[in-house]
Structure 1
Amino acid sequence: MFANFLTPDYAIFSIAFVVMVGIGLIEAIGLGLGNFDFGTDLDSAVDVGDMELPDALGWLGLKQGLPILVWLTSLLGCFTIAGFAVQQVSTAVLGAPLHWGIAGGVALLAGGAMNAFTAGWLARILPEYESTIVDTEDLVMRRGMVLEGTARRGQPARAKVVDQHGQAHYVMIEPHNDGDIIGAGEGALLVRRVGALFFAQPETDSNFRPI
């Protein structure tokens, strides 16, 4: 069985296993790199249009509240297990393992699905980790400040929003009402979101001052 690690058809899974062990050692010696949060404000950093990136992250298990390196270690482990299983089944049924590229593609899909469940299980048994990841939707009903430009309907401007953990998020906002204008340095209350775009009410609107 160990000899399979050295064959070309198993090489991609052997590499994944070695990388997994390396990351595991980094975590074990307490370098703290695993506490890097993979936040969902990625959709404000890149233009994703109408794509719901947070849903994709949830499917991958990235929204379970795990440190990114713990999640990556889990994914590599699932990929390795799935890959060896695929090659073993192929050998038993076809008499030979699949080409590493085909086996790798199948293992990536199977391993990704496995990792979604594994990440959830790990998140439950690691209660001492307090995640500061927030969903983009959690920024609704929080105050922001326009950093540059002037926000008008149809002309969004870049704004800074601080979440409940004190982390800054940079989003594009437009006024909620057609006639409102929010200039640079002015505050606004984010009242709804459509894709990566937020709609905000100027803080000067007396209806929202008590919130």
Structure 2
Amino acid sequence: MISLLQPGYAPFIAAIGIMIMVGALEGLTLLFGFSATGHAGNLIAHHFEIDSTGTGAETGLAAQFLGWLHIGRVPFLILLVLFLTGFAVSGLLLQSIMQALFHFMLPPSIAACLALPLSLLFVRKAGKPIGRLVPQEESSALSEIDFIGRAVRVVTGEASQGNPAEARFVDEFGQAHYVRIEPDDAGQIFVRGQTVLIVTRVSGSLYRAIKSPRHEL
């Protein structure tokens, strides 16, 4: 009987542990009406300006790679579970085959490097069909141009021109969006908890805003 506690299995057992912790964190945050993985997926998609519309807009190499993995089109939680599952299964199988055939295991770092591309390929192949079977994140219902005119609330730090802060708003579908905002007026500062109005997009997830008379989102 093969023991999964052998050092060669360590990275892949850790991946299973991480998957369990991610599930627990997601369940905990959902109790408060907030998706940790959904937030992370939105931030990644906005930061790298991933084309999630399928229009073929020009993007950088990083955005193209992340788009190849369906980030921005398939819920991030599903992609993360697929990646960790593919990494754990491919690594455990690889080390088990090595042990059975050659009576030794590869060093954990080498085995992890070999399992990584297999896990990415698994995400690519399995992500799209699985994504069709589950509800899509409603963030795709709004384009970034639709953010203009929205009232958002500053949730972290202070914002000044050249020093943006993170802000949040909830759309009509009940989906939370997170953007980076800075004042349109160079002399203004937005503080945490302040409600402001987006007036223009600078680039990616960065927008400029003005003071808003609205105090609720």
Report the TM-score when normalising by structure 1.
0.57
Residues 189, 201 of structure 1: 8 Å contact kept: yes
Instruction: Identify the match of residue 197 of structure 2 among 187, 190, 200.
Output: 187
**Identical aligned residues as a percent:** 21
* Unpaired runs of at least 5, structure 2: 51-62, 213-217
Alpha-carbon RMSD: 4.8
Residues 182, 188 of structure 1: 8 Å contact kept: no
CA distance in 1 between counterparts of 2:70 and 2:121 reads 9
* Unpaired runs of at least 5, structure 1: 204-211
CA distance in 2 between counterparts of 1:104 and 1:65 reads 25
- For 1:58, the equivalent position in structure 2 comes to 67
Shift, 1:133, TM fit: 3.5
1:63-85 residue CA offsets vs partner (Å, 9 max, x unmatched):
343362x4433222201222134
Instruction: Identify the match of residue 89 of structure 2 among 67, 70, 81.
Output: 81
Residues 146, 157 of structure 1: 8 Å contact kept: no
Report the TM-score when normalising by structure 2.
0.55
Residues 83, 103 of structure 1: 8 Å contact kept: yes
CA distance in 1 between counterparts of 2:159 and 2:104 reads 64
CA distance in 1 between counterparts of 2:73 and 2:14 reads 26
CA distance 1:80–1:189, shift in 2 (3 Å): same
Match status 1:133 vs 2:139:
yes
- For 1:114, the equivalent position in structure 2 comes to 122
CA distance in 1 between counterparts of 2:42 and 2:143 reads 11
Match status 1:42 vs 2:43:
yes
CA distance in 2 between counterparts of 1:180 and 1:194 reads 18
Residues 157, 174 of structure 1: 8 Å contact kept: no
Count of residues in Structure 1 that have an aligned counterpart in Structure 2:
184
